[in-house]
Structure 1
Amino acid sequence: MPMFSLQDLEAAHTTVRQFVPETPVYAWPLLKERTGVDVYVKHENHTPTGSFKARGGFTYVDALMNSGEKPNGLVTATRGNHGQSVALGATRNGIPSYIVVPEGNSQEKNAAMRAFGANVIIAGKDFDESRVVAQQLQEEHGYHMVPPFHENLVRGVSTYALELYCSIADLDVVYVPIGMGSGICSLITVRDLLGLKTKIIGVTAQNANAFALSFAAGKAVQTATANTFADGMACRDPQAQPLEIILKGAEDVVSVSETQIAEAMMAYYKDTHNLAEGAGAAPLAALMANRTNLQGKRVATILTGGNIDLTTFLNVMNAHTQETSELASA
């Protein structure tokens, strides 16, 4: 049974558009030249927070306020994009937010969360450890815990899926990155609500491939680490609810290497002059790896965000350029 109805989704879209105008879907000619595929890019890097997550946090807090409950604070764990959306929704409603991020998290994402009004707390070696700290803060101070996956988050995020399917008819395949699962679950849910046959392929990083392993096994598989520069996909502990939806509704879940992600980031920059963070570039990386099987297909990629530190972006691009030069001269 779907998480929500089409009527619920349309109501969420009305709410979301108060803050997030409909993002564009472009078919870039140079991407078609590069891949040989009709590629449609859904530009979620063009939201006010630079990420698709803006939709979910806004909808979640709006639903919380409409329920008559105004907590004394919101707390959540994040690598950055989810935290920005929660901070935005909290600040707009006069609620303090406490955002827990792991050590070594993106400084620019931390700064963005603070700019949206968040109290940023650095604790834990990775996202999953930060989530434990956030739960402790909830218990100690009575804050409302915003989970990484929830029906109201997915309902908000699903407004981008609705826009995509209404913009481009007869899509054969959509590639989408998987972090905690709201993005891919929104595409699956809305596809089914609209009665479409589009295949959904989830993408993970090889260094953070818990969801790919879980999809292959048909059950949750945890990994010891999730060490990828594509921090939006740095999950090592798949949660039961999104995994169930993915197992039932995804065509496949694939993994791409750090090098492939870097190549896709470069392609986005050169072919479209858009900045893509690692997770945002991963769907294009997966498409490029499978291009020979996609000829003649209408394929969409979700550019989920462009929030990457300048230093990280330059380091990734420099390393990729050096590696490419070495291969060319070998």
Structure 2
Amino acid sequence: MISLIDIQNASRIIKQKVIRTPLIYSASFSKMCDAEVYLKLENLQQTGSFKLRGAACKIDSLVNQSDGCTGVVAASAGNHAQGVALAAKRAGLPATIVMPESASISKQEATRAYGGEVILHGQSIVECIEKAQKLAQNGNVFIHPFDDPDIICGQGTIGLEILEDLPDTDAIFVPIGGGGLMAGVSMAVKSVRPEVQLIGVQAAACPSAFQALQEGKVTCVESVKSIADGISVKQIGQLPFEIIHSLVNQIVLVEEDQIAASILLLLERRKVLAEGAGAVPLAALLSGKSDFPKGGKIVLVISGGNVDSPLLDRIIRQGLVWNGRIMRFSVCLEDVPGALMEILKIIAFLKANVLHIYHERSGWDIPIHLSHVELELETRGPQHILEISKTLEESGYRLCNLS
């Protein structure tokens, strides 16, 4: 088991190798949940996530070993890969990173840009870890993404920084994948202020830590694809589990629509770009599932911001839909001049913005005297959608496929 002293030593080791990320207050989120909400912005860390902390700590320990280290091997879908590649490059060590064949091109290229040699293998992190462990021989050392004391100590430095910047913190929300970040932060925080509530957050699509706590042992879970791919780990690490089991107050599961909405909220309200895993703390806070102290000082660890641009576009659109900011429907109009203009007049009067129009009159299922129109509108929210629907229906329009 690691200790506070170990994490404090890690803090001294990596002090000149990582960015001390800011802790910022959010008035918007504070009003939403009746608390003082602060964001620990690890998305601003070099490489775009907290993973550099653990990697820098681990590689420092390898460099200082008496028997030496000729290179490192790691397995990751993205963030750990980039952290290890950069930390190894700075230490003058070659780094080989095994990534899933489905890993995004942008994350592959970022890892290569930091000096890592990328090998694509398998479809899951488990397969990547197995491959990486086989490659770790002849002086090369495998760096586990979360089940390693040095990695956990490096990630735990975030907890020390939070308490230094906000000594009277009441609760901290932390994403959980393999558990290294949650384990490190928990050990650091609970060792200094045991009364602080530690709330872990997982995507409901992959509840490995939640299930492990339910069963009292590490277990492998079934999972489905999630926006929060950075924490989609089917089995929590053994060492992180032991720490989390004894120190964490609660684990909350959040759904995909809540994660997408939180990514959008972070962008719009604080101009913070967070990946899915980085946005789950806000999703949990706003879900009402957590037992945080009302009126207290709450910290959300925004663990990373490495989201692919094409995916971000889809997430934003989905977030707008789930937040009631986009309205879609179809309607049949008389196929006469001015019919489309009349419905658009009503929409304009109601202050909705037309994003897309699809007008069809030649479909096999469309009566000869009618045309089929599909509309996508930008709205202010759910109440605005209700107002638009009611007004159009009262004006004689029959809305279909409303979403």
TM-score (norm 1): 0.94
The number of aligned residues is 327
Aligned to 2:306: 307
Change (3 A) 1:184 1:111: same
Q: Tell me: higher relative CO, structure 1 or 2? Use CA pairs within 8 A at least 6 residues apart.
A: 1
C-alpha distance 272-69 of structure 1, shift in aligned 2 (>3 A): farther
Q: 1:283, 1:303 within 8 Å by CA — same for their partners in 2?
A: yes
Tell me which amino acid in the other structure corresponds to 2:172. V
SS of 1:320's partner is helix
Of structures 1 and 2, the larger Rg is shown by 2
| CA distance in 1: counterparts of 2:33 and 2:98, whole angstroms | 39
The alpha-carbon distance between structure 1 residues 10 and 238, as it changes in their structure 2 partners (threshold 3 A), is: closer
| Residue 128 of structure 1: how far off its partner (Å) | 1.4
The structural deviation recorded for 1:292 is 8.7
Give distance in 2, aligned partners of 1:292 and 1:224. 24
Instruction: Tell me the residue number matched to 1:322.
Output: 321
Aligned match of 2:121: 123
The SS at the match of 1:201 is strand
Residue 146 of structure 1 corresponds to: 143
Residues 226/246 of structure 1: CA separation in 2 closer, same or farther (3 Å cut): farther
Question: Structure 2 stretches of 5 or more lacking a match?
Answer: 328-380, 386-401
Following the alignment from structure 1 to structure 2, what is the Cα–Cα distance between the partners of residues 222 and 318?
A: 33
Correspondent of 1:232 among 213, 230, 233:
230
SS at match of 2:136: helix
Per the alignment, residue 79 of structure 1 pairs with 77
Q: Which moved more, 1:256-265 or 1:12-21?
A: 12-21
Look up the equivalent residue of 1:196 and give its one-letter code: P
Asked if 1 retains the 8 angstrom alpha-carbon contact of 2:284 and 2:290, the reply is: no
Structure 2 length normalisation: TM-score? 0.77
Of 208, 212, 215 in structure 2, the residue corresponding to residue 214 of structure 1 is 212
Distance in 2 of aligned mates of 1:125 and 1:271: 36
CA contact (8 A) 2:89 2:115 kept: yes
CA distance 1:242–1:215, shift in 2 (3 Å): same
Instruction: Kindly report which structure 2 residues correspond to 1:1-330, keeping only aligned pairs within 5 A, or say none.
Output: 2-6=1-5, 8-138=6-136, 143-148=140-145, 149-290=147-288, 294=292, 295-323=294-322, 324=324, 325-326=326-327, 328=382, 329=385
Letter in 2 for 1:268: L
Higher helix share: 1
Q: What's the Cα RMSD here?
A: 1.8
Assess if the C-alpha contact under 8 Å between 1:226 and 1:235 holds in 2: no
Contact residue 108 and residue 308 of structure 1 kept, 8 A: no
Higher strand share: 2
CA-to-aligned-CA distance 1:83-103 (integer Å, 9 cap, x gap): 111111211122111111112
1: CA distance between counterparts of 2:165 and 2:139? 43
Which ranges in structure 1 are unaligned for 5 or more consecutive residues? none
Q: Is contact 2:199–2:290 with CA below 8 Å preserved after alignment?
A: no
